Chain A
């Protein structure tokens, strides 16, 4: 069954090819839907079959990954690793199925399929329906390449592919002003990260002569001295590569300082935000960090940096989320914040927790986005929560599912978010990172607070929109609500695969932990979670739940009772804070004033150099020389060559003109000519006699 793995990425690509090229504009909307959802649905089935096959065969039991080599892709041959060591660099086009990629594969295909189905309803009345699905399928294919690649190069193709699709889909409404700009921004900010990512890959190739995960991990584990020896910029090899990969992850997964593109990415259609900018693509960075966890364990400094960045991002994005009025912006900052959580987990060594949170977050955040999409749909495109309110009775299904997701993200047991978040916090505390733990806890409270603010502003209180919108309010069609319900179930139960041992009184049912065990290189000193006493664990759980409840309580006190007025009150009480949050700490402005402005200035300078020196001196100089030579040559052509030609022509013409009169058709002239001839002959006769 796992032999079907190659079908998993291929099917969406075929769907994209069909909708984007082969049958572009030649099939009905129904046909487009069939191709797009059919390919992803079959891909989901193939993925499930592959995972099932992998779990039930011997390889999994032996802790071995399943590798499917399709063909030898880059047989580069021997490369020198320095010091006379040669390595045979062979990069196969191959897929890898191990516990980690199984989890990712399940999340991506399952959520992706649901969002495809949802899109059928959401995008039903849009222009460019086929284009949308072609891009979406292309994205699925690229994401699956990223997840399934057995080496960095296949992953990188997927990595760039999802970046491309992200750009295409953010700028989907290309006839408006902002979306194309947002798409460009996303793309350019990601280039920064991608550059670092590639640098890391070059370092790996030059030091280990391979890009296959398994071989790199084996090589690092076999020779930790080499990995920890100084390499570049005062960093060890492991640190350098880990840092490069993390900078790449910063771009894709929207961490400080490269997070600015994600909020703007909300310019794309809502299902896109759900799929790409919440559930799948933005988690690629986390996936890579966890995939190469062995490097991070050998680079404690970088790990701490990762955790610090993650925590800072989580806190900062959460505070910004508190002051946003656009429902999608709230969710966008929430996503940035939760991604920060995942990196916090990865940084403190809780890799399982990072992947756990990745999975649970994919469910509830996709659900939140799709729910917001349903709301926007009902509000005829309105995204401002100030203009909503009281939608619960109009959109019952959307409201219930949204509420479930909100409770899940707030971290209330027994829903999904609680378990994964709790595990992260436990990991941070257990590793002795108390500051990080505090930040995480504060973020958890803020998260609960701003998410419930969103719920209260959107679904409770009085309707604040226009009369027209009120008239138009309706629950979304089944094709949209059914995915919501399925995801809601996921948001409830997804956490149950990783229930901590302490809650089951010593009985170890933490399935995920065991499942991911083979992928996570256990380092002896990382046993924080186990080192804690039961009582302490319970305390931690109680504290985190209490913080979440407090956050919800604050939200209820403020927005639950006073609605929008609470925002105004907040504004009146802390105007500076409100302004800072509303303007997102002016990070965009800062970048604009420094990097963007500097880039523009450099570009302008280079342009001037181009215009004056290259264009002016060299190109135009060459032009002038050429023109001069051409003029001489043209003169020669015109007056000498053409002159000769014209001379021949002129002579012919003049001769013809002279001779033409001989053919006047006047008989008398012929007769005269004859006479002249006779006389001339007679004269000749006389002369010659």
Chain B
């Protein structure tokens, strides 16, 4: 129990990190896209949990709603729409897979090595987005995010909404028969 108390957050991290990695490996390696999609759902949920662990509740929930809900449904919907056994690839991987694996491993190695080398400096944060200056004046994380979003990032936010509209129209046009 004491171990849990002492190392709870670490355990949770490893649990969800494992879930995320398992899901990701499933996505990349499973032949059947249906299984791949379910693995992806696992990865999404793991990531959402990791957001929560980092006190980013709003982003975590958005992750669950948008990814675990909308995007996943979209994927499943499309997988159902296309002929499933047509999707059974004769060869799953392209011939470049070993190279890609090496490059991927190299990338991870590099980043991890860079993290180990990384200097620790005290960051200077702008007052308008600083967690400490906002958190005191707000009810929680969602409000704090909202403040930043609607004060500093109002124009990008509106642009994002227009972007979503355009994407929707595009998807409709593309998805239409003919």
- A59: B residues at CB distance < 8 A: none
Question: Digit string of B107-118 for contact with A (CB within 8 Å is 1, else 0)?
Answer: 100110010000
Residue of A nearest to B106 (CB): A679
Question: Digit string of A671-684 for contact with B (CB within 8 Å is 1, else 0)?
Answer: 01001101100110
Binds A, one of B10-18, B27-35, B97-105, B168-176: B97-105
Residue of B nearest to A689 (CB): B117
Question: Digit string of B71-85 for contact with A (CB within 8 Å is 1, else 0)?
Answer: 000000000000000
Bound together, the chains give a CA A678 to CA B107 distance in angstroms of 9
Contacting pair B94 A675 (CB below 8 A): no
Contacting pair B110 A682 (CB below 8 A): yes
What's the least CB distance linking B116 to chain A, in Å? 12
- B90: A residues at CB distance < 8 A: none
- B100: A residues at CB distance < 8 A: 672, 675
What's the least CB distance linking A677 to chain B, in Å? 10
A533 interfacial by beta-carbon distance below 8 Å: no
Contacting pair B96 A679 (CB below 8 A): no
A176 interfacial by beta-carbon distance below 8 Å: no
Task: Using known A-B contacts A668-B96, A669-B96, determine if residue A675 contacts B110 with beta carbons closer than 8 Å.
Answer: no
Contacting pair A675 B103 (CB below 8 A): yes
Contacting pair B103 A676 (CB below 8 A): yes
Q: How many residues of B contact A (CB 8 A)?
A: 11
What's the least CB distance linking B91 to chain A, in Å? 12
Task: Using known A-B contacts A672-B99, A672-B100, A686-B114, determine if residue A679 contacts B107 with beta carbons closer than 8 Å.
Answer: yes
- B89-145 with Cβ < 8 A to chain A: 94, 96, 99-100, 103-104, 106-107, 110-111, 114
- B111: A residues at CB distance < 8 A: 682
Bound together, the chains give a CA A683 to CA B94 distance in angstroms of 26
Task: Using known A-B contacts A675-B100, A686-B114, determine if residue A669 contacts B107 with beta carbons closer than 8 Å.
Answer: no
Contacting pair B104 A675 (CB below 8 A): yes
Question: Digit string of B31-62 for contact with A (CB within 8 Å is 1, else 0)?
Answer: 00000000000000000000000000000000
What's the least CB distance linking A674 to chain B, in Å? 10
Residue of A nearest to B99 (CB): A672
Contacting pair A668 B94 (CB below 8 A): yes
Bound together, the chains give a CA A668 to CA B9 distance in angstroms of 38
- B99: A residues at CB distance < 8 A: 672
Contacting pair B96 A682 (CB below 8 A): no
Contacting pair B103 A669 (CB below 8 A): no
Contacting pair A682 B103 (CB below 8 A): no
Contacting pair B94 A666 (CB below 8 A): yes
- B104: A residues at CB distance < 8 A: 675
- Please report whether the interface of chain B is mostly helix, strand, loop or mixed according to DSSP: helix
What's the least CB distance linking A678 to chain B, in Å? 7
Bound together, the chains give a CA A676 to CA B100 distance in angstroms of 8
- Please report whether the interface of chain A is mostly helix, strand, loop or mixed according to DSSP: helix
Q: How many residues of A contact B (CB 8 A)?
A: 11
- A668: B residues at CB distance < 8 A: 94, 96
Contacting pair A686 B110 (CB below 8 A): yes
- B114: A residues at CB distance < 8 A: 682, 686
Question: Digit string of A648-689 for contact with B (CB within 8 Å is 1, else 0)?
Answer: 000000000000000000101100100110110011001000
What's the least CB distance linking A689 to chain B, in Å? 9
Residue of A nearest to B111 (CB): A682
Residue of A nearest to B96 (CB): A672
Task: Using known A-B contacts A675-B103, A676-B103, determine if residue A669 contacts B94 with beta carbons closer than 8 Å.
Answer: yes
- B106: A residues at CB distance < 8 A: 679
- B103: A residues at CB distance < 8 A: 672, 675-676, 679
Bound together, the chains give a CA A340 to CA B117 distance in angstroms of 136
- A678: B residues at CB distance < 8 A: 107
Residue of B nearest to A668 (CB): B94
Bound together, the chains give a CA A676 to CA B107 distance in angstroms of 9
Partner of B107, one of A666, A682, A686: A682
- B94: A residues at CB distance < 8 A: 666, 668-669
- B107: A residues at CB distance < 8 A: 675, 678-679, 682
Contacting pair A683 B96 (CB below 8 A): no
Bound together, the chains give a CA A683 to CA B106 distance in angstroms of 10
Bound together, the chains give a CA A676 to CA B96 distance in angstroms of 12
Bound together, the chains give a CA A683 to CA B114 distance in angstroms of 10
What's the least CB distance linking A36 to chain B, in Å? 87
What's the least CB distance linking B115 to chain A, in Å? 12
What's the least CB distance linking B141 to chain A, in Å? 32
Question: Digit string of A505-537 for contact with B (CB within 8 Å is 1, else 0)?
Answer: 000000000000000000000000000000000
- A666: B residues at CB distance < 8 A: 94
What's the least CB distance linking B156 to chain A, in Å? 25
What's the least CB distance linking A65 to chain B, in Å? 110
- A679: B residues at CB distance < 8 A: 103, 106-107, 110
Bound together, the chains give a CA A668 to CA B96 distance in angstroms of 9
What's the least CB distance linking B109 to chain A, in Å? 10
The 3 closest A-B pairs by CB, nearest first: A668-B94, A679-B107, A682-B110
Further 9 A-B residue pairs, CB within 8 A, beyond A675-B103, A679-B106, A683-B110: A668-B96, A672-B99, A672-B100, A675-B104, A679-B110, A682-B107, A682-B114, A686-B110, A686-B114
- 26 cross-chain CB contacts under 8 A: A666-B94, A668-B94, A668-B96, A669-B94, A669-B96, A672-B96, A672-B99, A672-B100, A672-B103, A675-B100, A675-B103, A675-B104, A675-B107, A676-B103, A678-B107, A679-B103, A679-B106, A679-B107, A679-B110, A682-B107, A682-B110, A682-B111, A682-B114, A683-B110, A686-B110, A686-B114
